[in-house]
Structure 1
Amino acid sequence: MQLILEKIKRNRASTIKRMVNALEEVLAEHGIEGVSINLITQKASISKVLLYRYFGNLPGLIEYYVRIGRLVPHYSPDWVAQIQPAHPENLASIWSGNALQVFRQLRASRSSREILKATVQENSALSDSVSMTLDGELTQLVNQLSFVKGSDHEAVSAVMLGALSYLTLQSHYDRPVIGLDLRRDENWLRIEKAVKLIYQALAQTAIDSSTVQVDLKSVDEMASAW
């Protein structure tokens, strides 16, 4: 009986992986407007019944795709504890490094950019679902890596990540922003440099504030790491 259950579990995992990979390919080939259950199931060589059984509908599959970390990385508590700053001066590099990493991956992946594009479309149940799911993933990441108490890190992150989302979408459509041709790598390097400067200023503001507490790694944790 145990062997049968393990085989069913393996088959389920394999089928889900095929559906996720098929979704990614369809998004890259046809865009968010062209994605459909028919195309996904044909590419994955499975029946529609299985997709409905596992995910309920197309939004359910896309929500799953977003939640498994294809767009926003998932960090374990142990990993977060490992990168927790030992000194206040480390805050800026943690914040800017992780924000830029997310959007480098988005710019590099057509399927991910199509998901991002869906979040700004109107009058669409699919877009509403995708937007809420992606926002939940970003919110979790921001809260994991804030390492400060007493500051409005949610509002700050909304401004920073919102700006990077806009720039990524404009790049996707080959549109300039403030005269910057976002098809050129050197202009993205300028943007990344600006993002780092902004996070440095924000970190310094937190350090200098009498009402903000920086959550630093304890001496015992630093010793145990060695």
Structure 2
Amino acid sequence: MARLLQAVGEVISERGVNRVGINAVAEKAGVNKVLIYRYFGGWEGLLQQFLTEGNFLTDYNKQFLDTNTEAAPSPCQIRIDYLKGLLRQLKNHPPAQEMLKWEISSPSSALSQQLVLSRNESYQKVLDKFFQSDQEDLNAVTALLTSGIAMLLLIAPSQKQFMDLNLQSEESWKRIEHAIGRIYNSLQ
């Protein structure tokens, strides 16, 4: 089963969610597609299991909660750390990028709606732990920056340049990380 779920991620990375199917996953995993029907009931079941076990954003949030058990020096610093980590993780996790593209292009899909609910519950756990008194409405700032990060990552493969940022350059991504810190530090 783990091999099939790994194959889903690999095929999603290579082709995108909309061009993935049972045949491609079975071939990548080196198994007969009958196994997918037997274990998961078909493509929907396999994708649902992949989302449940391999939902990058909820995994990242859980990891962040587990590794940040102590209170940060300031709410702004924990937000900076969170968003920089999110950017780095998303940047290095193509299946998560493809899932975000799919979610945007298929908002009425039951699986897409499940992904949104799961992610929002996961975000809420981070908010509840670290940001209960949010006098400056930093949650809105965080939402804006999170969506901006996602957008830049999603356009990077097809648009090499955004404003004066070379999205293929590590230097530009460091500038973005620095900007995250500057934004939050200006709000303190």
CA gap of 1:197–1:124, structure 2 versus 1, over 3 A, is: same
Alignment of 1:108-187 (within 5 A): 108-122=92-106, 125=109, 129-130=111-112, 132-133=114-115, 135-146=116-127, 147-151=130-134, 152=137, 154-187=139-172
TM-score by length of 2: 0.78
Partner of 1:102: 86
Question: What CA distance in whole angstroms lies between the structure 2 residues aligned with 1:31 and 1:40?
Answer: 12
Q: How far apart in 2 are the matches of 1:112 and 1:118?
A: 10
Post-superposition offset of 1:176? 2.1
Q: Which letter does structure 1 place at the counterpart of 2:80? A: S
TM-score of the pair, normalised by structure 1: 0.67
Match of 1:82 in 2: 69
1:84 Cα deviation from its structure 2 partner: 3.1
Residues 1:194 and 2:168 aligned together: no
Offset at residue 101 of structure 1 (A) = 1.6
The alpha-carbon distance between structure 1 residues 78 and 132, as it changes in their structure 2 partners (threshold 3 A), is closer
Cα–Cα, structure 1 residues 97 and 123, in superposed 2: closer, same or farther, change >3 Å? closer
**1:48 matched to which residue of 2?**
33
Counterpart-to-counterpart distance in 2, 1:92 and 1:30: 38
| Alignment coverage as a number of residue pairs | 182
2:132 and 2:100 map into 1 onto residues whose CA distance is 30
Return 5+ residue gaps in structure 2 as ranges: none
Name the Cα RMSD after superposition.
2.9
Larger-gyration structure (1/2): 1
Distance 1:76 1:187, change over 3 A: closer
| % same residue | 27
- Asked whether the equivalents of residues 80 and 145 of structure 1 are also in contact (C-alpha less than 8 Å), the reply is no
Change (3 A) 1:196 1:77: closer
How far apart are residue 77 of structure 1 and its match? 10
Report the CA distance between 1:137 and its aligned residue: 4.3
User: Partner residue of 1:211?
Assistant: none
